[in-house]
Amino acid sequence: MKKHFIKIDLKSINKNPNAGSEIDYLPGKTECRFSTKKLPDDFIDGENCYVVREETMIGDGSIRIEGIITDKELIDNILQNKRKDIELIMKREIIEVRHLPEPPYFYDYENITLKCDSCNREFDSIDIKSEEVWDGENEFYSDRVCPYCNSFDCCEIDYETIEEALKRLELLVTK
Ligand SMILES: [Zn+2]
C-alpha cells in the first residue's frame, strides 16, 4: 500500500487579514419603522403594519403615530412614490457571531493522482469524498472515501502542514 503525500500549493498561500479574529458581524433582518401624523388609508394596523405608539404632543396638540411596517410591498410603494405622508426609518440589526480564531493562512492542496487500495482505480485527489455512516450503534466517518467503489479509508494520505509549506517557500525565496 502506497502512502500518498499531498503538498500545499505554494501559490495558493495567502495571509488571512482577519487572523486570530473570533467575532464576525453579520447583517441581520431589517426593520422598517414609520412615523406619521395621520395613519394613511393603506396602512392597516395588524395587517401590513403595527402601530406601536400614538401620542398627542403637549405643545400644539398634534398627533404622532409610530409603528413598524411588516409588508414589503407597502415599503416598496412608499419608497418608489417618495411619499410625503410618512417618514420611514430603516433599522438593520447587526448580529455578533463568535467562532474559533481564524487561521493565520488560507491555502489549497495540490491535486494529485490517488489510487484506491480496494478497487485499484486511480482518481484525482480533489474527487475524494467524505462520508459518515450510522449503523444503529456507531457512527463511522471517513474523509477518504473512494469516488468509484465507495470504500472507506480507501488509501493512506499524509497532508503537508502549513508550517512545512512555509519552510519550503522560505527556501525558494532565499535561493
Ligand atoms: Zn475504490
Å from CA of 123 to ligand 1 middle? 9
CA dihedral 16, 20, 22, 28 (to 10 degrees): -20
pLDDT of residue 148: 97
What proportion of the chain, given as a percentage, has pLDDT over 70? 99
Query: Does 1 have pLDDT greater than 80?
Result: no
Average pLDDT over residues 109-113: 97
Domain ranges of the chain: 3-22+102-174, 24-97
Rounded to the nearest 10°, the torsion over CA 58, 61, 67, 73 is -160
- Cα-to-centroid distance, 129 and ligand 1 (Å): 11
Q: Output the pLDDT for position 2.
A: 79
pLDDT tens-place string over residues 140-156: 999 999 999 999 999 99
How many Cβ atoms are within 10 Å of 22's Cβ, its own excluded?
Answer: 11
Q: pLDDT at position 175, please?
A: 64
DSSP 47-108: TTEEEEEEEE-TTT--EEEEEEE--HHHHHHHHHTT-SS-EEEEEEEEEEEE-SPPPSEE--
pLDDT of 29 reads 86
Provide the 10 A C-beta neighbour count for residue 151: 15
CB-based contact 32:69 (threshold 8 Å): yes
Ligand 1: centre distance to CA 14 (Å): 34
Cell of 33: 419603522
Please tell me the distance from the alpha carbon of residue 108 to that of residue 7, in angstroms, as a whole number: 9
pLDDT in tens, 117-143: 999 999 999 999 999 999 889 999 999
Ligand 1 centroid from CA 137, angstroms: 26
CA of 7 to the centre of ligand 1 (A): 22
52: its cell numbers = 406601536
Is the confidence at residue 85, as pLDDT, over 90?
Answer: no
Distance between Cα 18 and ligand 1 center (Å): 39
At 173 the pLDDT is 77
pLDDT digits (tens, 9 = 90+) for 3-62: 999 999 999 999 999 999 999 999 888 899 999 999 999 999 999 999 999 999 888 888
